[in-house]
Amino acid sequence: MESLDSFLASTSESASVRVTAPTNGNVNGVRNALANGHTNGHARKDSGINIADDDGTPIRSRLFLLSGKDERATQAMADNLKNHLLTLNVDDEEAFLDNLAYTLGHRRSQFPWVSSFTGSSIAGLVKTLESGKVKPVKRGTSTGLRLGFVYTGQGAQWWAMGRELIDVYPVFKTALLDCDTELKKLGADWNVIGKVS
């Protein structure tokens, strides 16, 4: 298992920054990096992307995940978390939120029911949890198939990096062939391995 320090060190700080980019007067919302086509999250300062509060403090939104064996248990976890957050007095809110997001997402068992939400402050988490918008949902009832990663063709570290995995890891090739079978059932007229190769 990886430690919190190694997890945080491997996570790009820009990947947890809330990014808003106006488009025709509308806001695109939260993105996974500095988006707008800037590979690996590089954005120009004059691009119109706001990555900080009005006072210049970077906004670091994190993903929080709660998981329970049933809907009621998952909702109870959300209520318990809210009550715990209301009693806290922390010296370093950023470190606390990093630790909380890491622990909930990586150090807890994953059960059939989940709730997920984002937040950049303790007060923001409490407000989100009080809003009634955090509703538990049941995970899909698939036969154990899980998506590991997708090569989008945008921002890969090197061209065709997934191709090497086909030859080196038979399990990867098998997974691609399984994906190909499922996509064919949905009407795809192309081959997954052919697209990666």
Domains, the chain, ordered by start: 4-47 (no CATH), 62-138 (3.30.70.3290), 142-197 (no CATH)
List 63's β-bridge partners, or say none: 118
Per-residue confidence (pLDDT) for residue 20, from 0 to 100: 44
Tell me the C-alpha distance between 136 and 73, whole Å: 9
Separation CA 163–CA 178 (nearest Å): 16
Provide the pLDDT for residue 76: 95
pLDDT given at position 3: 54
112 token code pair: 């059939």
Query: Which residue's structure tokens are 């994190």?
Result: 62
Task: Name the residue among 63, 73, 169 with its Cα closest to residue 117.
Answer: 63
pLDDT of the residue at 156: 54
For the chain, which ranges sit under pLDDT 50?
A: 1, 7, 10-50
CA-CA distance, 119 to 180, in Å (whole number)?
Answer: 37
